[in-house]
Amino acid sequence: MEKFMNWMSDVVAPKMEELTGNAWLSAMQKAIIKTLPMVLVGSLITIYNVLRNFIPALPVLTALRDYTFGLISLFMVFLIPYYVLELKKNNKMKLIAGFTGVALFMILVNPEITDTGYVYQFSAFGAGGMFVAIVAGLFTAFVMNLYAKFTFFKEDSVIPDFVKEWFDSMLPIATVVLIGWLVVIQLHFDMYAFIVNFFSPLNSIAQSLPGMILLYLIPTILYSMGISGWVFQPILNPIALVAITANADALAAGLGASQPFTNEAVYAWLSLGGRGATLPLSFMLLFAASKQLKALGKASIVPSLLNINEPVVFGCVAWNPLLMIPMWITAIVLPVITYLAQVTGMVAIPVEVFNMWYCPVFISSWLVNHSLSGLALTAINLAVAAMIFFPFFKIYDRQQLKLEQEENE
């Protein structure tokens, strides 16, 4: 265990920190964070629809979700090149890069050309076009960076800077749009279908039992080392958003939902009190014999109820093998229970967007699928997490108490 922990500390952690600082990955993280308010509006509509089930006379507000969460790919394709160029210190081109990303995306979604104009499928602008938006955004940023130092003008030119920027940005814009035009319109290559099909195996793996375990376990392991789970959001978010959209579409078509790995499932049944299901541990800390751990419990219990577990993770879990191990075990066992409960039909697979991760346990699980079985699954997972954490916590509590007594003596 000591060798393993040393390897994680000396090899894995520095690599992940280096990855976190990568401009391209960091840009996608920033883009995802900036689009969260739009996703949260979809969550509010989900809550509103619960109320509407009891008061049918209330107006239908589905359009609010369509024009917020339903346009998330458009937002992403603007923000990704914008933030890449900002992090690359190419600020003069970042807005133009965002506009150009949108232009390329509108070509790649391959609209139908009719006598009346271009006909777009609205679904392509939502989560269904997420992978296309990522590819278009990154490609646009790549081209824009190639022209970062290019200029038509000499340094001593008397032409105003804003005029220089207009002309200097024309060539990279033309390059990006020309490539999209040539490939999609002239060569009739359906780039949208190609990108979606290219990434579909990733989504299929994610919706399997091993995939669900790994996609929850790996970020949890890194989090227990003090590395934010946001490192994986550029990978996890598109998968989860595509899955919940597919479930909603299946329901609308009269079919059953089939995608168990969604953000909704994670918030309702896996991240109970935060990633790694640390809510039971927070309650245990309240009753610790160690004064230090008891104080930590008092400080962390309220945030934990809102699924904010940084206080407890950085207070006693990070780089502490006695509590890291149960956190990892929980991140394996709970996905297994949750996956099996969904695919066997014991618990309904979520079909509505709900990304209010800060919503307290049980309330979130009710809003996700409106069933007693969903509440029961939450209770079972909490009990399992408590049983896993308890023996490790008792050992750690005794160790801390002994250290405190020795210090007092």
240 and 263 in contact (C-beta within 8 Å)?
yes
Quick one: what percent of the chain has pLDDT higher than 70?
90
- 159: pLDDT confidence band, cut at 50, 70 and 90? low
Show the CA angle centred on residue 163, arms to residues 162 and 166, nearest 5°: 90
pLDDT tens track for 170-207: 889 999 999 999 999 898 888 888 888 888 788 889 99
Distance CA 296, CA 315 (A): 7
Phi, psi of 299 (to 5 degrees): -80, -25
Token output for 224: 């227990």
Where is 157: in which H helix or E strand?
none
Q: Where are the domains of the chain?
A: 29-199, 207-408
Q: How far is CA 34 from CA 29, 30, 63, 79, in A?
A: 9, 6, 21, 8
Q: Structure pTM?
A: 0.78
Provide the pLDDT for residue 163: 62
pLDDT given for residue 158 in this prediction = 53
Per cent of the chain over pLDDT 90 is 42
For the chain, the average pLDDT equals 87
Give CA separation, 336 vs 217, 218, 271, 373, 389, in Å. Answer: 11, 15, 14, 16, 17
Which ranges of 129-232 does DSSP label H, i.e. alpha helix? 130-146, 161-180, 191-206, 209-223
Query: What is the per-residue DSSP string for 376-408?
Result: HHHHHHHHHHHHHHHHHHHHHHHHHHHHHHHHH
